[in-house]
Structure 1
């Protein structure tokens, strides 16, 4: 199906935050010199446990906000590597509030805004975390609304999360193109009813999950042409 047909009637672009707009590994990157050769391993483990904890807490029905989950995941990663450094831990958590956005993000958001699309974020992050990340990247002028899972108290890919954007923007799911670099999130959003573009930044293999992203792109620079 041509992109022009699949994306006909799109009014809004809704973005996942972490890994899609913001580089989750930039927090460790800011303090890489303090971690030496273990920095990449710690960053990957931190991210892996962070996501695992969101899924497990959702299944258990024992929600904690993303700030708490991020702290717990970092503690696990540091403990796994035998690091007990409260000052470093505090600095890494502070760095998570100031993640770098990917280089193309401001340009693409500006193009989409000029093209008449409404832009929003739908994220596991808390409102305070999202506000800090958006402000740090100087993209607040493009984003109409930061939607947080804290409105429903459960993490993605629960359908109640995706409904937040529908209700908040006042448009139908099929009028929203949802973008995520997390394949599981892209599948969840597609199963919910969004038009979905998977931003496969790292050349990951396709998941075997319900729902199927309508398009796959390598980075957000491909999005304006996709939307026509």
Structure 2
């Protein structure tokens, strides 16, 4: 099997650990730290509602709005300003423990590395700077420039054109089954980071690489180069 020409990386949860947001989200939701996954799923749901309706707003704005929705559904009063404050840690998330070593190995193998995220350009710039990831990547792509969220097929087509490669020369590396599904339906290849609580979509084509962390995925990618 040929190695892909370009590796595209999802950012939130794939590279960066959302676990550190449990405290701020839990505080906003009256101590309900267990509602963090529900909020993140709701944020993704309404990013797709925005895309389907052709009504783009940035990810942070959707995040604050959906946090207020989750709060309301659980009888919790949450102002717009307090919701925005609760999302502040999203800009300074740490990486998962193995990520930097894995990215270093992949870069040393000579791969072109591009991030492709639903976060805004400013948002991902701050995330990468705070997490120490900036120098690992050749380019950063945000769906903000297109005005549609992953996993809309147009996002993957746009990203491939932007980098100047064919869809089958791209591989999406992500910890989200919906992201892998969207990429593969757009003709890309896929590598799934099977982090705890994440599952592939059973109705989508299976990706060629499935591993529990990015370090093990890096080993598979490097092997394709040899």
TM-score (norm 2): 0.88
Question: Where in structure 2 are the equivalents of 1:44-193 lying within 5 Å?
Answer: 44-81=37-74, 82-84=76-78, 88-193=82-187
After superposition, give the CA deviation of every residue in 1:87-128 in whole Å (9 maximum; x if it has no partner).
753432211111222111111111111111111111111101
Distance 1:161 1:60, change over 3 A: same
The range that moved more, 124-133 or 64-73, is 64-73
Shift of 1:209: 2.7
Counterparts in 2 of 1:34 and 1:59: CA distance versus 1, 3 Å: closer
Tell which deviates more after alignment, 47-56 or 201-210.
201-210
Q: CA deviation at 1:170?
A: 1.6
Tell me the CA shift for residue 24 of structure 1. Answer: 2.6
In the alignment, structure 1 segments of 5+ residues that lack a partner are none
Cα root mean square deviation, aligned: 2.1
| One of 5, 24, 29 as aligned partner of 1:11 | 5
Q: State how many pairs are aligned.
A: 221
Among 166, 171, 196, the alignment partner of 2:190 is 196
Flag structure 2 segments of 5+ consecutive residues without an equivalent.
Answer: none
